[in-house]
Amino acid sequence: MLEHDLPYHHDTARLFAPLAHDDWAMLLDSGQALDPQTGQPGSQYGRYDIVVAEPFVTMVTRMGVTTITSFGHQQISEQDPFSLLKDLLAKYPTVKTGATFAGGAVGYWGYDLTRTDAHLQPRAQAVPEMMIGLYDWAILVDHRAKTSKLVSHAVLPRTRENWDALKASFNAVASNADSKPFVVNGRPAANFSHAGYHQAIDRIHQYIRAGDCYQVNLSQRFQVPVTGDAWTAYLKLREISPAPFMAFMQLPDMERQQFQILSNSPERFLQTDGEHVETRPIKGTRPRDPDALRDAANARELLDSIKDRAENLMIVDLLRNDIGKVCCTGSVRADTLFQLQSFANVHHLVSIVTGKLKHTATAVDLLQACFPGGSITGAPKLRAMQIIDELEPDTRGVYCGAIGYIGFDGQMDTNIAIRTAVVQNGDFTYYAGGGVVIDSVPENEYQETLNKAASMEKCLAAFSK
């Protein structure tokens, strides 16, 4: 493996800034810019940041058709996108090194990628269902060790040949001072009315009473016109609401017009480290409060809530079943249940489920077996997805899919793409939702979506006219 030390800075955005407007440049961000409680560098949010650019292969799936572009040549396929990705990664096997990531697949898997498997009718998508790049080098920032390294498995000869030039291009830490203006031109509009969201929850209650399901995750979409540089908006978002699984992606659409993904997700979907598998579903939410006593009371109320614990447990059971499809018999267990985690705008209940991956399975097999995440569908998953498709006015796109990496060495880490916005064609679009169960109160569920959208609202307000 090739490795080169770079200057360390607590704000990895400075390393990414020179790349931020390049097609297929991506930052997987652990939310370390500032701790919102102390205002100081470093926080509890995460350890590693990953910067990638210049993929040598790209995979784009739109309406079930995947275009693979490699060294100027295109291949079109209607095969299962997960199988295509698995076959592609298999061409570049590498041994595991000490690096968390030194090259491989990075990108997003949109929620609607498995519409066919869920027996859902095709619907037009604003963005592709999947966009993945294969990268032969990365910048890996370790905030615990306070190191920054340029790393590569060097699966391509050209990477080794161009290594000195690549090192030189990153030897200085850039500044964010040249970020460009971003302007919000209005107020966010939802695709549900207040009454309409209540009516959708009433319909879910009817399905639950009829025995169709136990829980359905219902979301609403917010959209507002914007102009300017989405990277500037992301810098503000990570300042306002750091989270452990943030991401910024600069991507080209079919007309070569760029769109951007801004994610400040708090939720891990799937991680593999060798044979070890981990997922951390979130279910249960209360708002933060500036008053310390009220904030503590909100946290205690969440911890004591029988409803929220039951809702969380339903998803834990669903995920145990999902990862059990590709894990060794008897290895899947819930290590932690109902752990309180507090973020800038909300408290959450988080559980941890682990397992041991079968020798015959890969990280891609695991991702496919669990996709999309149960915490943002409901239980049982297939029926919940069908009800979601019936009730939600718009497809979800990136929202509730996954963002992350699968290394050439088989290691994987992905988020659930909640608290995630897409900036495209002059619109800033984001969603917020929550799990609906039989004892859900419609107004409380509606308010929960607003609580979850608060960070995006606060970010947008900073740029409003």
What positions carry a catalytic annotation? 267, 283
Is 84:68 a contact under the CB 8 Å cutoff? yes
Residue 237 DSSP label: H
Separation between Cα atoms, residue 108 and residue 269, nearest integer Å: 12
In sequence order, what are the beta bridge partners of 10?
none
CA 419-423-429 angle, to 5 degrees, is 50
**Could you give the maximum distance between any two Cα atoms of the chain, in Å?**
65
The number of residues making up the chain comes to: 465
Closest CA to 422 of 191, 241, 221: 221
Separation between Cα atoms, residue 361 and residue 312, nearest integer Å: 27
Closest CA to 267 of 111, 46, 453: 46
Closest CA to 421 of 393, 447, 449, 455: 455
Separation between Cα atoms, residue 313 and residue 189, nearest integer Å: 33
DSSP 276-315: EEEE--EEEEEE--SSHHHHHHHHHHHHH-HHHHHHHHHH
Q: What is the phi/psi pair of residue 142, to 5°?
A: -110, 105
Using alpha carbons only, how large is the chain's radius of gyration in Å? 21
Dihedral-angle region of residue 322 (phi above 0 means left; psi in -120 to 50 means alpha; beta otherwise):
alpha
E strands present in 113-190: 130-135, 138-142, 147-152, 182-184, 189-190
Separation between Cα atoms, residue 340 and residue 308, nearest integer Å: 12
Query: Measured between alpha carbons, how far is residue 251 from residues 24, 36, 312, 366, 441 in Å?
Result: 5, 29, 34, 26, 39
